[in-house]
Amino acid sequence: MVYLTRVERFNAAHKLWVKDWSDEQNNEVFGRCANANWHGHNYSLHITVKGTPDPFTGFVMDAKKLSDIVKARIIDKVDHRNLNLDVPFIPSDCQPTSENLVVFFWQELYPHLPPEVDLHRLMLQETDTIYAEYFGE
Ligand code: NI
């Protein structure tokens, strides 16, 4: 079994906020991500598929084809958008944290991958020092 990873990047705005909490409590829990007028992150999404290299191409999967699928299903829907308001597959009552986003991204991507590979891991990097991973369970 061989693992192939493609990296895609996008920029998006969000705000982490619980409407039933006080401003003080939101700022305490979410810090700068609670900024009332939104803020942005430069995200990197690492998509890892696994499979057996094809005897003719040597590819687990054509990395350009993987990129096209990820762009169509995820990147085109989140890039330069507000993750709290603009993305149909992110519920409005759900915090757009990296932990939640990787699960939604998995659900969007998984049904659209070709049968020769299996989705192994999504890793979403929000800052240089924070990332979330999801392995489908
Ligand atoms: Ni943030």
CATH number of 2-134: 3.40.630.30, 3.30.479.10, 3.40.50.720, 3.40.30.10?
3.30.479.10
For residue 80, what are its two tokens? Answer: 């330069």
User: Taking the chain (137 residues) in consecutive chunks of 10 residues, what is each chunk's mean pLDDT?
Assistant: 98 96 96 94 98 97 98 98 97 95 98 96 97 97
Residue pair 117/54 in contact by the 8 Å Cβ criterion = no
Nearest partner of 61 among 116, 109, 105, judged by Cα: 116
Q: What is the pLDDT of residue 133?
A: 98
Nearest partner of 1 among 89, 61, 87, judged by Cα: 61
Q: What is the pLDDT of residue 15?
A: 97
Catalytic residue among 14, 41, 108, 126: 126
Q: What is the pLDDT of residue 17?
A: 95
Q: What is the pLDDT of residue 25?
A: 97
User: What is this structure's pTM?
Assistant: 0.95
Catalytic residue among 80, 94, 112, 116: 80
Domain ranges of the chain: 2-134
Q: Write the DSSP assignment of 13-35 as a string of letters.
A: EE----TTS-HHHHHHHHGGGG-
Question: Can you give the C-alpha Rg of the chain in angstroms?
Answer: 17
Distance 96 CA to ligand 1 centre (A): 9
Q: What is the pLDDT of residue 51?
A: 97
- 80 catalytic? Reply is yes
Distance 54 CA to ligand 1 centre (A): 40
Residues 6+ apart with CB under 8 A from 132: 97, 98, 99, 101, 102, 123, 124, 126
- How do beta strands 39-51 and 130-134 pair? unpaired
Distance 102 CA to ligand 1 centre (A): 15
The span from the CA of 42 to the CA of 80, in Å, is 10
